Amino acid sequence: MEFPAVDLVRALSDSIARRIGANRFRTWFGGGAQFEFEDGRVRVLAPNDFVGEWIANNYIDEIVEAAGEVAGKRVRVEIHVRPADSPPANLRDVERSQSISATPNIAPSIPTPMSKPPLLRGRLDSFVVGPCNRIAWLAAQQVAERPGNGFNLLVVHGPCGVGKTHLLQGVCNALADSHSGLSCRYVSGEEFTNEYIAALRAGRLDVFRMRFRHVDLLAIDDLHFIADKKATQSEFLHTFNSIDGAGKTVVLTSDKHPNDLGACEPLANRLISGMVAEINAPCAETRRGIVEQLAAQTGLLCPAEVTGYIADRFVQNVRELEGAWRRLVAYASLTRAPLSMRLAAEALGTVRRAPRQTAEDIERIVCERLGVTREQVHSASRDRAIVGARAMVMYMLRRHTQLSFPEIGTTLGGKNHSTVLMAVKRVKQAAEAGDVIRVRWNGVLDTHPAAEIIAALDDELAPSR
């Protein structure tokens, strides 16, 4: 008995939806894709190239299985793209039986979301956890274990080289391992910006939006790249709203707290509404763990005293530790000597160590250069020179330490965090605008260019390399 075509199409649709899930079926087949049964074959008519390529590369097996189930026999499946004003043009012609499970090895002409992210370096189980990063790691674990049911937005921020990218890649890899049916897209802030600009110029924003908005997890590294790009910020805000509205997840990294990104107010408000976790420079415990892990990965026996020597000497970030370890391993290889304290001293003794500047050191140096005392900076004096020096101390503490605004306020005699925030903002704006501030510089009370003062202090406070 032959079934009417309309019943076959309905049965096929239901069968595919059961296999891939109702949400994915609505996303990829509910927006214009059609099915036709004709002469023992099924034709899938996609509304455009992007949808056609995506269906062909991700759901061809499910369609073949569903068609075989509905028809009760081996069925030929073809996928076509049907432009609005032209006859169907063949995109993919595939003949499969239900026993075949491999997907076609065909590279799409348009980048698409991926059911698995590409091979990324970072993994959550190789992330060395310590007091400086524990909250961020726990939040990342929850996102990876319960995508869509935990944090819909996770923002990890901190200085360069402390493990933000490792954590972000770890989430993507964990998602691929444990939830292979979910789609994930991992890009940098620069890549997101470049793809948006290219799509805008080519008049293909619909393709760009389909690519970024129809994913289960969007991971963007270095979001601060879009800080001064208003159009990109607006597009990202709409992208985030679309993903969030679908109950999906966005994970971001940045070298600044969302409040300090310089983002437009709507985007800033959305970012701080999520889970915001900070990663600080690694503490001694974490640094030692990182060196031990590097040794284990290299397969070398590293004495505890050598591990401690490296961890105590290189304190700024993970990259500095990795660089020191690579230098030591290379030196050991060239000299054919085992790792020892003597070898470590020879290999690393000439590497200039970045001095650890404490908040007290920074405050003392800035006060000395600006001709004020610590007591004056901590006071409530409204003298213009003292106000300018106080703002500069706050700015340099924010610039050269990991202290938060409230912590800087506490350091400077219990100042309110909003006072610190506004002072840092004023100094930053003055420097960017080429404005002057009134301070006592080199013993002379006068107005001086803010940018020049900052540059001079940076030279004195920045680590030696």
Q: Are 205 and 199 in contact (CB under 8 A)?
A: yes
Average pLDDT, the chain: 80
Is residue 439 situated within a structural domain? yes
Residue for token pair 């969007």 = 218
Same domain, yes or no: 329 and 194:
no
Is the pLDDT at 398 greater than 70? The verdict is yes
Is the pLDDT at 420 greater than 50? The verdict is yes
Same domain, yes or no: 129 and 266:
yes
Same domain, yes or no: 182 and 270:
yes
Same domain, yes or no: 201 and 63:
no
The average pLDDT across 257-264 equals 86
Last residue of a domain, one of 278, 302, 327: 278
Same domain, yes or no: 309 and 396:
no
Q: What does the pLDDT read at residue 87? A: 41
The average pLDDT across 284-311 equals 89
Is residue 101 situated within a structural domain? no
Is residue 343 situated within a structural domain? yes
Of the candidate ranges 166-180, 304-318, 334-348, 450-464, the one whose mean pLDDT is the lowest: 450-464
Last residue of a domain, one of 278, 308, 339: 278
How confident is residue 356, by pLDDT bands cut at 50, 70 and 90? low
The phi, psi pair for 393, rounded to 5°, reads -60, -45
Is the pLDDT at 202 greater than 60? The verdict is yes
Is the pLDDT at 60 greater than 60? The verdict is yes
How confident is residue 305, by pLDDT bands cut at 50, 70 and 90? very high
Last residue of a domain, one of 297, 322, 348: 348
Q: What does the pLDDT read at residue 155? A: 95
Same domain, yes or no: 144 and 271:
yes
Question: How many percent of the chain have pLDDT more than 90?
Answer: 22
Same domain, yes or no: 269 and 160:
yes
Same domain, yes or no: 132 and 268:
yes
Read off the pLDDT of residues 86-122 as tens digits, 9 standing for 90 and up.
Answer: 443 333 333 332 222 223 332 233 333 333 444 577 8
Count: domains in the chain:
4
How confident is residue 83, by pLDDT bands cut at 50, 70 and 90? low
Is the pLDDT at 361 greater than 70? The verdict is yes
Read off the pLDDT of residues 442-464 as tens digits, 9 standing for 90 and up.
Answer: 566 777 788 878 877 877 776 54
Is residue 103 situated within a structural domain? no
The structure tokens listed for 25 are 């079926």
Of the candidate ranges 28-32, 209-213, 328-332, 387-391, the one whose mean pLDDT is the lowest: 28-32
Q: What does the pLDDT read at residue 391? A: 92
Same domain, yes or no: 27 and 91:
yes
Q: What does the pLDDT read at residue 82? A: 65
Same domain, yes or no: 409 and 442:
yes
Same domain, yes or no: 36 and 133:
no
What is the C-alpha separation between 162 and 450, in angstroms, rounded?
Answer: 30
The average pLDDT across 223-235 equals 89
Q: Are 248 and 216 in contact (CB under 8 A)?
A: yes
Residue 328: give the domain boundaries.
284-348
Is residue 102 situated within a structural domain? no
Is residue 424 situated within a structural domain? yes
How confident is residue 22, by pLDDT bands cut at 50, 70 and 90? confident
Read off the pLDDT of residues 263-287 as tens digits, 9 standing for 90 and up.
Answer: 888 998 999 888 999 998 888 889 9
Same domain, yes or no: 158 and 142:
yes
Whichever domain contains 316, its CATH number is: 1.10.8.60
